[in-house]
Structure 1
Amino acid sequence: MSANALSSQPTHSDRGVRRLLAHAWAVNRLMTVTLLLFAALIPFVLVAMVVDPTVITGVNGWIKPLKFLLSTLIYGATFLWLLSFVRGRRRWVQVLANVTAAALLIEIVLIIMQVLRNTTSHFNAATPFDAIVFSIMGTAITVLAVMNLILAVLLIMQRMDDRVMAWGLRLAVIASFAGMLVAFLMTAGPTPSQRAALEAGETVTAIGAHSVGVEDGGPGLPLVGWSTVGGDLRIPHFVGLHGLQVLAVLAWLLTRPAARRRWSERQRVALVWIGGLAYLGWTGLLTWQALRGQSIVAPDALTWLAYAGLAGVMVVAVVAVAWRRPQAVSAAAMG
């Protein structure tokens, strides 16, 4: 066989990618196409960051589209994977996937459009058009939250052979829903400074904010931009949202042969619950810290005490469960 013939043969990784795409396509076509579009847009946004000097709220205007493309790509892919666990409800799966894909697409299109207009997308009330754009985005995130909640209900109702993975996926979706709820705190109404300006009859260009105690656009961490001088609700929003991946990975690790040999199913389910509750607690503490106007890089003594308390309870619970000798380990678990 010639070298050209050998090079034309599909590699193992090529076959893996094709199988993955085929599986995604079988679950839902619109979501698959949407995710491929997001992946294709990332290189263009990276180039735009270099060639376009547009600055919005103190940072390169294209950083926000990049962050949202990466986040929505990961979220959408995980959401699609979770839908593959829902059996016997094909119509529900298609509705959830199609509506979620459309909502994610609307978010990305509007964010990029506003960058091209050299203005902000979130909280923008500078013009009636900008207010409409943000209103549409707010509706889209509400729809995403509802779809997420419905998926959680379907997974709770779904009978699965592996209880460890079942509870891991359920808790993952619940954690993600909690992260979405944080977004509504950002849009609950005008901030104190915005309210004061409105009461004084002044014109405001933004209603709502992700920063607490300081104005949006101040000093922040590299790339993510999370405030280093005040509270920032984007942090618990991000952490909670991506509990979808973290807790799913935790459950997957606890289904591996090494974990099965070491712990009984009951122990592994308990560990998943500990991880899920600890993750929800972490999201809650991050929200509490942000609402107090406290930067993620400057927690006070009370905040440190709260985090230490959460970590301590989690460690004690893990040790109590993991060190307990399983009463019996089935032959299947040993395999």
Structure 2
Amino acid sequence: MSDPAPWPDVRQWHRPLLLVAAVTAPFVVISLVGTVLDDRVLVGAPIWAKPFKFAVSIVLYAVTWSWLLAGLRRHRLARWAGTVIAVALLVEYVVIVGQAVRGRQSHFNVATPLDATLWGIMGSSIAVLFVANVVVAAVLVRRRVGPRPLTWAVRAGAAISLFGIGIAFLMTGPTPAQRQSLRDGTFTGVVGAHSVGVTDGGPVLPVTGWSTTGGDLRIAHFVGIHALQALPLLAVLLTLLAARLPLLRDEDLRTRLVLVAAGGYAGLTCLVLWQALRGQPLLRPDGATLAAAGALIALVAAGTAAVVIAGRRGARRPSTPGPAAGGRSR
């Protein structure tokens, strides 16, 4: 029996997650328009930049999970967990947009009772999102969602994505400067930060808003979360390329390539997290970061080469004749 198709019928996709994607998608355009028409700046960035970035991320995340959960449509717990993910994403985004409209910081803001309540709601939604992802990831360990390369890509992507979500909790504690302000009475109402070694709101990269003067935990958070898109898309791409490249027709070889890529992606997530925790900007790596990056690239290249070489040797190896062929008279 052939493996399930990598693209289930869209009617089987998880509808609550599709609904969240449909509701959030217009805010990609709305936020861009807001950036042009609304000249307010918050924490060093246009006030509609955060709603824009989160809209893009949520649409990608919700559509991906909706597609993947189609492969688990008979598993009630996974489907319910998907609905919880949908609700958590929607709650988080409503708070982000609401605070942008009010001209208030959404993340880490406890300056007023309302701000603190909204930040508490957002933080709780992130915690619920994390737990729901754990549930689905646990189901994926034992269930297939398609061909083996896709199944392993989804499993690895879900695990790395969980790690990426977890990085958000590193941002919620008070910085040394904030602890000092609580002691000396100069507290400004913010507990937590995206940046390491510098204050949020300084010079940043375009679009992403990542700090150019210090470490930024959002980089590893972003990279880790979107393993859920990158690795499954790689598996699908390898399947499509198999029509043109005979070597990739071996499903075991494609599976091993996916696993090598997953190891490299996990290594990249850890690398940018390590870089950020040392207060180092993404585009200004020191010698240790460059050495670690070079070692990671070398390991991934060596793993890929080993898989390809083994696959070529297997393809050239003559098959053993069966009993009928061996006993055939000349």
- Shared fold per TM-score greater than 0.5: yes
2:99 corresponds to 1:117: no
2:287 corresponds to 1:311: no
Read off the aligned partner of 1:98 and give its amino acid letter: T
Which residue is 1:27 aligned to?
A: 13
Encode CA deviations 1:132-185: one digit per residue, 9 max, x unaligned. 111111111111112222221111111456211111111111111111111111
**Range with bigger deviation, 195-204 or 282-291:** 195-204
**Range with bigger deviation, 221-230 or 133-142:** 133-142
Is the contact between residue 24 and residue 80 of structure 1 (CA under 8 Å) also seen in structure 2? no
2:205 corresponds to 1:221: yes
Which residue is 1:10 aligned to?
A: none
Change (3 A) 1:160 1:68: closer
Equivalent residues, number: 308
Deviation, structure 1 residue 222: 0.5
Which residue is 1:171 aligned to?
A: 156
Which residue is 1:144 aligned to?
A: 129
Deviation, structure 1 residue 105: 0.8
Deviation, structure 1 residue 39: 1.4
> Matches of 1:313 and 1:32 in 2, distance apart?
38
2:62 corresponds to 1:76: yes
**Range with bigger deviation, 144-153 or 226-235:** 144-153
Deviation, structure 1 residue 48: 1.6
Which residue is 2:237 aligned to?
A: 253
2:118 corresponds to 1:133: yes
Which residue is 1:277 aligned to?
A: 263
Encode CA deviations 1:197-251: one digit per residue, 9 max, x unaligned. 1122332321010100000010000011100000000000001111111101111
SS of the residue aligned with 1:255? helix
Is there any run of 5+ residues in structure 1 with no aligned partner, and where? 1-19, 330-335
> Matches of 2:11 and 2:53 in 1, distance apart?
25
Read off the aligned partner of 1:61 and give its amino acid letter: I
1:153 to 121, 138, 146: 138
Change (3 A) 1:279 1:116: same
Change (3 A) 1:316 1:97: same
User: TM-score, normalization: structure 1?
Assistant: 0.87
Which residue is 2:287 aligned to?
A: 301
> Matches of 1:102 and 1:182 in 2, distance apart?
21
The 5 A counterparts of 1:73-112 are 73-89=59-75, 91-112=76-97
Which residue is 2:218 aligned to?
A: 234
Change (3 A) 1:33 1:25: farther
Which residue is 1:327 aligned to?
A: 314
> Matches of 2:118 and 2:190 in 1, distance apart?
12
> Matches of 1:30 and 1:115 in 2, distance apart?
25
Deviation, structure 1 residue 326: 4.7
SS of the residue aligned with 2:25? helix
User: TM-score, normalization: structure 2?
Assistant: 0.88
Deviation, structure 1 residue 260: 6.9
The 5 A counterparts of 1:187-198 are 187=172, 189-198=173-182
Is there any run of 5+ residues in structure 2 with no aligned partner, and where? 1-6, 317-330
Change (3 A) 1:239 1:159: closer
SS of the residue aligned with 1:323? helix
> Matches of 1:161 and 1:295 in 2, distance apart?
39
> Matches of 1:31 and 1:144 in 2, distance apart?
13
> Matches of 1:259 and 1:140 in 2, distance apart?
45
SS of the residue aligned with 2:204? coil
Deviation, structure 1 residue 261: 2.2
> Matches of 2:13 and 2:226 in 1, distance apart?
21
Encode CA deviations 1:46-75: one digit per residue, 9 max, x unaligned. 222222111111221001101100100000
Which residue is 1:206 aligned to?
A: 190
